[in-house]
Amino acid sequence: MKVNENILISSLTTMRLGGPARYVLEVEQPSEIPDAYGFAKQYHLPTFVMGYGANTLGHDEGFKGAIIINRMRGITESTTDDGSTMIKIMGGEYWDNVVAYACERGLTGIEAMSKIPGLAGAAPVQNIGAYGQDISDTFVEAEAYDSVTDSFVTLSKADLQFSYRKSILNTTAKNRYFIISITIALKQGTMPRPFYNSIEKYITEHSLTDFNPQSIRSIVTQLRANKLPDPLEIASAGSFFHNVYLTEEAAEAAADKGYPVHHGKDGYKINSGWLIEQCGFKGKLLHGIRVSDKAALVLINESATSYNDLAKARSEITGKVYDKFGYWLEQEPVEIQ
């Protein structure tokens, strides 16, 4: 385990905001996890588990505790009797490496989640998803360390209680478990059609006929490059707001008003980017935070120097959306506090 002191959170997160963390503990193998939590307990420090930092925000005052980061890497596979391929991924593995690994082998199930920044261990936390696929679709189990009972446990799909961008890991059991590895089940083949609207549109525009996992990965890579900034190059937390989900009754009322309501496997929704754009924010600079001119649900840290700058920009956006439409936008990134 590597112990680092007084590390700026801004250097650990892709939004590049946040003061110093008292300690940053880097865990490189499962046996070091109890040591990390033991270290925090010894000095009466709160803990925060962090991965790549792409969906995490730091506060100006920093964190007077221990941030624990997963540095465990590795991917292994096995085949089941029904022909499924079980992929076991260590939590510190970069997620897009996992997608690339699967697509190179012709395995379907996660190809639409290409280029999502982050680590594999964070994937089940908020049930990551894109273009019609969610990690919960293929998730089998996770090996984890329970910081409450100080024991190693196995968490099943049912245990995690997945829903749209949620699981117990970011709700009822937030910050309780340290994910060591996840196992997903994939199969040879292709995604079922119809594909997500933007994928179908791209296929039509480019007259494509090959829909193998590698081809879908290429399409998604291009779609994301056209509207989502690379967090390694441009300071951003990716999609900053969740889409707005509605009851069937509320969806009917919204449709009657001419709002673009979409009906998918998770229910009825309105894209938060559309709401923000309708309020005139697309491309605007607010307190150093730029609302992307390509995808309005993306906020870019162009010149903000503090969390307070971000908070003021967020408040302006959510307030105007509520005043105009009556919907409160929910922030997607988690905060270290």
Catalytic residues: 165, 239, 332
Tokens for 121?
Answer: 């261990």
Tokens for 218?
Answer: 């290429």
Residue 69 buriedness (CB in 10 A; 0-12 / 13-18 / 19+) = buried
Tell me the β-bridge partners of 25: 3, 68
Indicate the helix (H) or strand (E) that contains 203.
helix 197-206
CB 211 within 8 A of CB 220: no
CA–CA gap between residue 176 and residue 178 (Å, rounded): 7
Our CA dihedral for 112, 114, 116, 118, rounded to 10 degrees, sits at: 120
Tokens for 87?
Answer: 């992929």
Amino acid at 110: I
Tokens for 45?
Answer: 């420090």
Which DSSP category does 136 fall into? G
